[in-house]
Amino acid sequence: MTSKPFKPLSDLDWHRIANGDVYGPIEVGEIEYWLAVHIGAAVCKVQMNRPYIQKLRYKHNLDPKELAMMAGMMAVSHGPPISENNSRWTFLRYDEDMRRYYKLGLKMTDGGKELWICRFHRLSKNEYNRLLRKSLKK
């Protein structure tokens, strides 16, 4: 699991990706090494498909600052992920600057050789609290 350090995407990078200047899978963040080992992943880098980025940007009206927040959401300092099953996890976060709640879904594919963002949504305070309570019951 050694590779060059991840360089976070800038607001301009997100804008260019959403407008079609970049093709193929895009590295959008990384999880900590110990977490990758814990979940059985062979990689720390997390990818996302450009069509999903475009959907988030234009259908769900997420701005580049919100998209850039995804990399930070995978930092365990914001709270550990909630396990959904052996290949999917959810990260929750309240962002004080945006004054909004968010949910990020991560899935592992190809036997742990790939990590992908499969969901990124704004949440209401009630939805956020419900997910937290649900995670504590597991």
Tokens of 132: 């937290």
Tokens of 66: 């919100």
pLDDT of residue 65: 83
Which pTM does this prediction carry? 0.82
Question: What number is the average pLDDT over the span 88-109?
Answer: 91
pLDDT tens digit string along 22-74?
778 888 889 988 888 888 899 999 999 888 888 988 888 888 888 888 888 88
The answer to whether 80 and 93 have CB atoms below 8 angstroms apart is no
pLDDT tens digit string along 14-28?
778 878 777 788 888
- In sequence order, the 6+-apart residues with CB closer than 8 A to the CB of 62 are 56, 120, 122
Burial 92-107 (b: 16+ CB within 10 A, else e): bbebeeeebbbbbbbb
pLDDT of residue 45: 92
Spans of all domains in the chain = 11-137
Rg (CA), the chain: 15
